[in-house]
């Protein structure tokens, strides 16, 4: 069963949508709310079990999410990664019933579309697969063990930021476990992240110094966080409607005064941006980032990446990907591709 295409509302005023688009959007958000309610009830059951069995007081609970919002595309437009049998993928999609009356049942499988993240993550920008706050800012809730309670501050809200790789050092410290330097005679990469115990206990406002940059990479996008500053780089983005600064540039935002990332202040703070950009290659070399290049990558990318939005295509020229110290640029990095907003994208142009 199917609805008229496109049946998910595009990014436009609500009063301009058709009745079926409004009904579909309302039902999707209702199902989303029901999923959260169901999760909440089952977390409550787990907590009650811990209390009934006398384990609650000695249990530390951490709740977070792997990303801020959903991907901005419909399941019917999903681009599967290379190596996946596309015939099987299409067969899987064909077994789903996303009719309005069936949304939320076990045989439905749907996504917001590009409008959803902006509704659910307001006032943040961006969505899953991006480094904007809408894609990476997530809830982080910690229920400490009872023996930790005496050292906790009276306020239960912590404003300092943290990264997902801070979870492991935090658990190690709470459990009084020392991270090993080697395993079976082989050296282990030093543990990344910082313990959040001092932050949780209210002894510090942040586990990272305000001038200490933290690099990150996701789907060939790069970012650096330093205090309230965030620098974001989307290589070769020429979609002027989304990113008005054009191609192959770093943008700089102050999340303290502009959490919605509406004002790029790179031109006003070149020294800060320069320091943050210089920190990224150090991070990339430390963790072994490998930037995919060439026709093979471009071909795979047409299958794995969803369109950025229904109205703003993204062009990527692989020649524009900056070199990373310690990583050799292949000689065949000459292909480019254009990820259109249509369900299918053309093959790479050489």
Among 95, 123, 138, give the residue marking a domain's end: 138
Residues 6+ apart with CB under 8 A from 152: 144, 200, 201, 202
**Of the candidates 325, 337, 251, which has an alpha carbon nearest to the alpha carbon of residue 289?**
325
Per-residue confidence (pLDDT) for residue 310, from 0 to 100: 27
Instruction: Report, in this order, helix, strand and coil percent for the chain, each rounded to 5.
Output: 35, 10, 55
Local confidence band at 279 (pLDDT 50, 70, 90 cut-offs): very high
Residue 192 domain flag: no
In a domain, 6, yes or no: yes
Q: Following DSSP, what letter does each residue of 265-285 receive, concatenated?
A: -TTT-HHHHHHHHHHHHHHHH
Q: Which residue has the higher pLDDT, 201 or 215?
A: 215
The yes-or-no verdict on residue 78 having pLDDT over 70 is no
Rounded Cα distance, 7 and 14, in Å: 14
Query: How far is residue 261's CA from residue 87's CA, in Å, rounded to a whole number?
Result: 40
For the segment 300-315, the average pLDDT, to the nearest whole number, is: 38
pLDDT at 350: 28
Is residue 28 one of the residues assigned to a domain?
yes
45 in any annotated domain: yes
Select from 138, 162, 191 the last residue of a domain. Answer: 138
pLDDT at 331 over 70: no
Domain housing 85: 1-53+66-138
* Count: domains in the chain: 2
Q: Which has more confidence, 103 or 337?
A: 103
36 in any annotated domain:
yes
Mean pLDDT of 70-90: 63
Average pLDDT, the chain: 75
- Is the residue at 20 inside a domain? yes
pLDDT at 225 over 90: yes
Distances (CA, A) of 99 to 34, 40, 106, 110, 318: 18, 27, 13, 10, 40
Under 8 Å between Cβ of 113 and 73: yes
Whether 229 is covered by a domain: the verdict is: no
Of 91-95, 142-146, 185-189, 282-286, give the lowest mean pLDDT range. 91-95
pLDDT band at 37; cut points 50, 70, 90: very high
Residue 165 maps to a domain: no
Q: pLDDT above 90 covers what percent of the chain?
A: 34
Count of C-beta atoms within a 10 Å radius of residue 252: 23
Residues paired with 90 in a beta bridge? none
Final residue belonging to a domain, choices 90, 115, 138? 138
Q: Report the range of poorest mean pLDDT among 14-28, 147-161, 291-305, 318-332.
A: 318-332
């Amino acid at each position: 069963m199917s609805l008229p295409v496109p049946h998910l509302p595009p990014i436009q005023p609500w009063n301009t949508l058709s009745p079926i688009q409004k009904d579909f959007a309302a039902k999707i958000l209702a199902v989303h709310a029901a999923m959260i309610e169901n999760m909440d009830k089952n977390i409550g059951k787990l907590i009650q079990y811990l209390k009934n069995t006398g384990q609650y007081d000695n249990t530390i609970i951490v709740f977070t999410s792997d990303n801020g919002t959903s991907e901005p595309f419909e399941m019917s437009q999903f681009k599967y990664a290379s190596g996946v049998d596309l015939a099987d993928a299409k067969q899987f999609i064909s077994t789903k019933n996303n009719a309005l009356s069936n949304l939320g049942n076990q045989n439905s499988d749907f996504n917001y579309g590009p409008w959803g993240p902006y509704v659910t993550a307001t006032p943040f920008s961006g969505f899953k697969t991006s480094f904007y706050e809408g894609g990476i800012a997530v809830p982080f809730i910690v229920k400490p063990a009872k023996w930790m309670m005496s050292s906790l501050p009276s306020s239960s809200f912590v404003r300092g930021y943290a990264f997902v790789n801070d979870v492991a050092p935090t658990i190690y410290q709470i459990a009084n476990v020392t991270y090993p330097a080697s395993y079976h005679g082989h050296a282990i990469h030093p543990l990344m992240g910082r313990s959040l115990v001092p932050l949780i206990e209210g002894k510090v406002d942040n586990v990272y110094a305000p001038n200490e940059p933290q690099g990150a990479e996701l789907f060939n996008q790069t970012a650096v966080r330093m205090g309230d500053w965030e620098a974001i780089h989307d290589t070769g983005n020429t979609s002027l409607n989304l990113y008005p600064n054009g191609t192959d540039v770093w943008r700089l935002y102050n999340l303290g005064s502009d959490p919605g990332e509406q004002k790029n202040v790179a031109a006003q703070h070149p020294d800060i941006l320069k320091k943050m950009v210089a920190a990224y290659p150090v991070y990339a070399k430390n963790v072994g980032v490998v930037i995919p290049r060439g026709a093979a990558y471009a071909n795979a990318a047409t299958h794995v990446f969803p369109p950025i939005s229904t109205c703003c295509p993204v062009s990527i020229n692989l020649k524009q990907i900056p070199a990373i110290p310690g990583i050799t640029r292949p000689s065949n990095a000459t292909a480019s591709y254009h990820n259109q907003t249509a369900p299918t994208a053309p093959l790479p142009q050489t």
